Amino acid sequence: MGIVSPGFQGRPRSGGPALPPGQYLTEDFPVLSAGPTPRVPLDSWAFAITTESGEEHRWSWAELMALPSETPTVDIHCVTRWSKLNTTWQGVSLDTLMADVETAADYALAHSYGGYTTNLPLEDLLDGRAWVAYRFDGEDLAPEHGGPARLLVPHLYFWKSAKWVRGIELKLMDEPGFWETAGYHDYGDPWREQRYQGD
Domain range summary for the chain, segments of one domain joined by +: 43-192
pLDDT band of residue 5 (cuts 50, 70, 90) is very low
Choose the weakest-confidence range: 5-9, 135-139, 191-195: 5-9
Q: pLDDT at position 198, please?
A: 84
Distance separating alpha carbons of residues 31 and 43, to the nearest angstrom: 26
Count of CB atoms situated within 10 Å of the CB of 4 = 13
The answer to whether residue 33 scores a pLDDT higher than 70 is no
Distance separating alpha carbons of residues 187 and 180, to the nearest angstrom: 9
Percent of the chain with pLDDT over 90: 83
pLDDT band of residue 37 (cuts 50, 70, 90) is confident
In order of 31, 63, 71, 117, the CA distances from 36 in angstroms are 12, 27, 28, 15
The answer to whether residue 175 scores a pLDDT higher than 50 is yes
For 43-192, CATH gives 3.90.420.10
